[in-house]
Structure 1
């Protein structure tokens, strides 16, 4: 199930990025609401454009890190103990998001971002569906670590 979540995440991520590249003009926002725009940007760095101006070496470094982390998560998914099955979806989201951005980094040399959130003049760094999947998966994983049971079916089977 975790690999299904990962594959679905990669497909949806790549499809939305392709839609953004073909439908949006670079750095020209299209307002959706007063705080949400579609805006095509390219990120050669990591989260929050960390290392974006590093001169090019970061492309393969970040791709290598993403590949190693993806392999480790995939192995973890295959080796999950029955008691940890509630981690399947969050790990699948993290894996799919990481692979979605890895594909961009390897094939394009940058990650395609197109979701822009802001309030007045304060802008959150642009992001994409892969980033969202990683964030949701990581938050789900952390919440499950702090609060125990990770899925409604797991709670039902314990009762």
Structure 2
């Protein structure tokens, strides 16, 4: 099922699955609670800090509100794309050689599934966190979106790590192998 780390602990694939499940549960729980368990819809915005509010925004597109889909075909196309991406990233996660890579992929998978559930159930994704400062305003997002961004950052960090090498396989400048 995934490689077990040599120092004990959680295997990369298990860490990725935990990240995916935690993301999915936190995303759906936060959306369900805010939408059905509070009066946010009627009393928005809720000021959390001078730079952050809770609001209700239904996003019928993808990130940053791009590719808005009003019809059923576009909605189900986006659900399908999310599911295909989650499956593909899950296959990659299963083969991940590091926990960082697997967790990054798990965050993206969990986020994609969370937003796909919203699209399938409501026809749009429920976004609720609005960051702003003065006249600057960031797009409204949710837990799934935050996890996807964190996952992409994890992928970038993983790509910057040097590939694991056998130190005995290195060749010195004069062509000889270093002594052990």
Same fold (TM over 0.5): yes
Asked if 1:3 is matched to 2:17, the reply is yes
List runs of 5+ in structure 1 lacking aligned partners.
Answer: 150-159
Q: Is residue 60–residue 70 contact of structure 2 (8 Å, CA) maintained in 1?
A: no
Q: Is residue 100–residue 154 contact of structure 2 (8 Å, CA) maintained in 1?
A: no
Picking from 143, 146, 162, the partner of 1:132 is 146
Higher helix residue share: 1
Which protein has greater RCO, CA pairs closer than 8 Å, 6+ apart? 1
Q: Cα–Cα, structure 1 residues 26 and 70, in superposed 2: closer, same or farther, change >3 Å?
A: farther
**Could you say what secondary structure the match of 1:51 adopts?**
coil
Aligned positions of 1:6-25 closer than 5 A: 6-22=20-36, 23=38, 24-25=40-41
* Aligned match of 1:66: 82
Cα drift, residue 131 of structure 1: 0.2
**Could you say what secondary structure the match of 1:32 adopts?**
strand
Q: Is residue 107–residue 150 contact of structure 2 (8 Å, CA) maintained in 1?
A: yes
Q: Is residue 14–residue 100 contact of structure 1 (8 Å, CA) maintained in 2?
A: yes
List runs of 5+ in structure 2 lacking aligned partners.
Answer: 1-13, 164-180
Asked if 1:43 is matched to 2:59, the reply is yes
Q: Name the count of aligned residue pairs.
A: 146
Q: Which has the larger radius of gyration?
A: 2
Q: Which runs of 4+ in 1 moved over 6 A?
A: none
